[in-house]
Structure 1
Amino acid sequence: MTDVIELNEIEALNDFQSDWARLLSVTPGGTFFRSREWLQVYWKHFEADQKLRVLIVRENGEVTGILPLCWKKIKSKFGSCRILTFPFDDWGSFYGPVSPDQESTLRAAFQYLLNSRRDWDLIDLRCIETDGFDGGATERAFQAENMEFEKFLWEQAMYVDLSQSWEEYLKARPRKARQTYTRAERNLQAQGEIEHLRYRPRGEAFGESDPRWDLYQMCEQIAEKSWQGSSTTGNTITHDKVCQFFRDTYESAVRAGAFDLNLIFLSGQPAAFSYNYIQNGLINGLRMGYDPEVSDQGLGRLLIGRILHDSMDRGDLLLDVGTGAVDAKKYWYTSVENSYRYVYYSPVSAIANVLRLSHQVASWFRDRFGSSDTGLLQDTRGQKEPAKQS
């Protein structure tokens, strides 16, 4: 027998701590962003104007899946729209249920949502990597429940396959990529001794939960001296808007054994940093920077190369270097993966039916003429960057 429990208070997640950790360890693409720890910190900072709706799926009393959702309002050309979506705001490249059987979890969740209070106009699931970790589970779940949906390209993320040797990887890089990396190594070695420090504590369960604030403060100092110090985007680790969120998430990830901090020292001076999460061998590269006052001779390239080399030696599986800044990443990534947005329109909602029709018309124009109106549906609350649009 399958049943669903709905949690609306963030503290209630603690009652499912062990189940959440167990399921996350066997979830395809189960990154730290799907962890209870990350959600609790995220909710602490970005709860405003959202309502929590976490669905716990049980089979004969055993928790088999978790679907973190939130309710919020977004703007459209046709008025305010209420959506159920992931409590995620695109901090990572992809998202989904916490379960080894994502399709079954989604089906149970959809059945519950269709038969419970209808306080939403859209089920709007974003950052679904259909051809990768999701494996088509989201589409099959919608289809199995006879829920007609629209599918939109959402983003493109760049990955580095770490399941190879450094020598194999470097050999497969373009000639210019190898040249720029070896030049950076040579130039910086001529300036002084290079040290790569990687701090990856295993967490409280292993007695390794020291946050090493001295190392984190070095990252902040480097960020202040880099382009990030003057950035107005509101998404750097030193920006007033999110700096405490980054610090709180850092501490939580360390306790969970999910943090990966990298520092490059040149002649003993902190010169470059990388702020990452790691879970199940999957690394999410979040923020990095270097101090131009120390050197401008390829510190960023050296840092990435050292991280990749060390990760391959450690047996890590994949590095997600995120979206955007393609030119800066083009020599490093081994694949580009699409993520998608799936939208189900409530048939009893007037605004949902208007949006469904407008999306279909826009898709028709795009397919026929290669362009469409992209301003139909906007979501600007809590995003790191200007939100994607339909």
Structure 2
Amino acid sequence: MTVDINEVNDVADLDHYGRVWEQALAVTPAANFFQSLDWLRLSWPCFPRWQRLRALVSSSGDPWVVPFCVREERFKVGPLRLLTFPLNDWAGEFAPLGSDPATALRRGLEHAFATPRDWDLIDLRWTDEDFLPAAVEAFRAVGVRPQVEVRMERPVVAFTPDEPYEDQLSKKLRQNLRRSRKQLEAMGRFTVEHFRPAAGDDPRMDFFEACSRVGKESWQHQEKAGFTSDPVRAQMHGIHLAAAALGQLTLTTVRLDGLPIAFVYGFHHQGRTIAFRNGYDPQHAKTGVGALALHEWLLHCEASGDRLIDLGPGTYEYKLRAANAMRKTYSVAHHSRYAVRSQLMRAWRSIEPAFRGREAFEKRRLVQ
């Protein structure tokens, strides 16, 4: 059976395939906002170095999309061109779109090997542990044996109908959260406000501005991928509007005398939610308001019917205290035999764990 595949190299040209993209996303298992066309359009300018879109779109039979891109990154062996997904560690998992992502990936790899090579390395860095066997099999189906490594661990919260989330927390953590609330209530008018619009509702830009205001005071402002840092700041306005329009936005603010002092900002889709960014005013750090805001946001997600909350890349202590499980994200890679620097990198990756120790090696690769 011949499969019609369209390769799109300009983000602006994706508008022509918007309907196919939407259809593929609608049937994608465990889909999330980061697989939406809106996200790709808005986040594309945020990557700081050269990159070229190689999105593969097929409407033959069941629609599918493999949003590949080629980007240049620098390593110890020198610059390399990576064929990968355009996620850039914004979240912890990514996969092709469609009812059968494994088949879509295999067809995408077949296309990559059948067309002129503009890459030194294929690196699917955000492969969730559930999709790992299918990803490995897709590589083997095109005749290569991929190199598999743990890229990061992600603390998650899995809600169950048998036991409320709050009952699963340690006694010490519950005491600390109650203490935080009492401290803040003693300081003024303490309020918690949630915003989770349905598709087409008012996007409430006042909530966006509240998060931005706290973000400018938070430690995240100094981070390259922080809520208000360059070049993210220029895109966040549009991201907020897009997520709200899709009905996939969920956020919580904590306020004192009407002024925001902490926030948690995330995206939800089909019962799965990702904590995208959070922050707090350092003037109130000693009250534990950051942990309290995350707790209130999680309770709201539970009450809204979410099943799995991904607290995002990185193993900060506050995430580990809130989580009740961990998930691993893998890098599934193939190094071109015709690219010398890529082969040097493959050789080093294969022996590096022995030099550093497996635990130290994995920690080095975690995204904080």
Alignment of 1:20 onto 2:21: yes
Aligned to 1:212: 204
Amino acid at match of 2:204: R
Q: Match of 2:155? A: 158
Q: Secondary structure at the match of 1:244?
A: helix
Q: Which amino acid aligns with 2:232?
A: V
CA contact (8 A) 1:121 1:349 kept: yes
Cα offset for 1:371? 6.6
Q: Take 2:237 and 2:14, find their aligned partners in 1: how far apart are those partners?
A: 21
Kindly provide the amino acid, as one letter, of the partner of residue 41 in structure 1: L
Distance in 2 (alpha carbons) for counterparts of 1:248 and 1:222: 19
Question: Which residue is 1:225 aligned to?
Answer: 217
Partner of 1:142: 139
Q: Where does structure 1 lack aligned partners over 5 or more consecutive residues?
A: 375-385
The answer to whether structure 1 residue 69 and structure 2 residue 68 are counterparts is: yes
Matches of 2:366 and 2:322, distance apart in 1: 25
Letter paired with 1:258:
Q
SS, match of residue 136 in structure 1: helix
- Aligned partner of 1:176 in structure 2 is 172
Task: Judge conservation of contact 1:28–1:100 (CA < 8 Å) in 2.
Answer: yes
Q: How does 1:180-195 map to 2 (within 5 A)?
A: 180-195=176-191
Query: Aligned match of 1:288 in 278, 287, 296?
Result: 278
CA RMSD of aligned residues (A): 2.6
User: CA separation of 1:371/1:107 partners in 2, compared to 1, >3 Å: closer, same or farther?
Assistant: closer
* Distance change (3 Å), C-alpha of 1:267 and 1:356: closer
**1:120 and 1:292, CA in 2 relative to 1: closer, same or farther beyond 3 A?**
closer
Q: Which residue of 1 aligns with 2:195?
A: 199
Cα 1:261/1:361, change in 2 over 3 Å: closer
Residue of structure 1 equivalent to 2:357: 370
In structure 2, the residue matched to 1:275 is: 265
Q: Which residue of 2 aligns with 1:352?
A: 342
SS in 2 for 1:330: helix
The answer on whether the counterparts of 1:96 and 1:128 sit within 8 Å (CA) in structure 2 is: yes
Higher helix share: 2
Q: Are 2:49 and 2:72, in contact at CA under 8 Å, matched by a contact in 1?
A: no
Tell me which residue corresponds to 2:5: 4
Distance 2:351 2:260 in 1: 54
Alignment-derived partner of residue 82 in structure 2:
83
If the length of structure 2 is used for normalisation, what is the TM-score?
A: 0.89
Identity %: 28
**CA displacement, residues 259-314 of structure 1 (integer Å, 9 cap, x when unaligned):** 22221223433232122122222221122222354684232232122212221111
Which residue identity lines up with residue 25 of structure 2 in the other structure? L
Instruction: Give the corresponding residue for 1:258.
Output: 248
How many equivalent residue pairs? 364
Map Cα deviations across residues 53-84 of structure 1 (whole Å, 9 max, x no partner).
001134xx235321111112222333332220
Which residue in 2 is equivalent to 1:92? 91
Distance 1:94 1:67 in 2: 14
Q: How far, CA to CA, are the matches of 1:238 and 1:12 in structure 2?
A: 29
Q: 1:304-343 residue pairs with structure 2 within 5 A?
A: 304-343=294-333
1:362 to 1:274, Cα distance in 2 relative to 1, 3 A: closer
Q: For 2:316 and 2:335, locate their aligned partners in 1 and report how far apart those are by CA, in whole Å.
A: 34
Instruction: Tell me the TM-score normalised to structure 1 length.
Output: 0.85
2:147 & 2:42 partners in 1: Cα distance?
A: 31
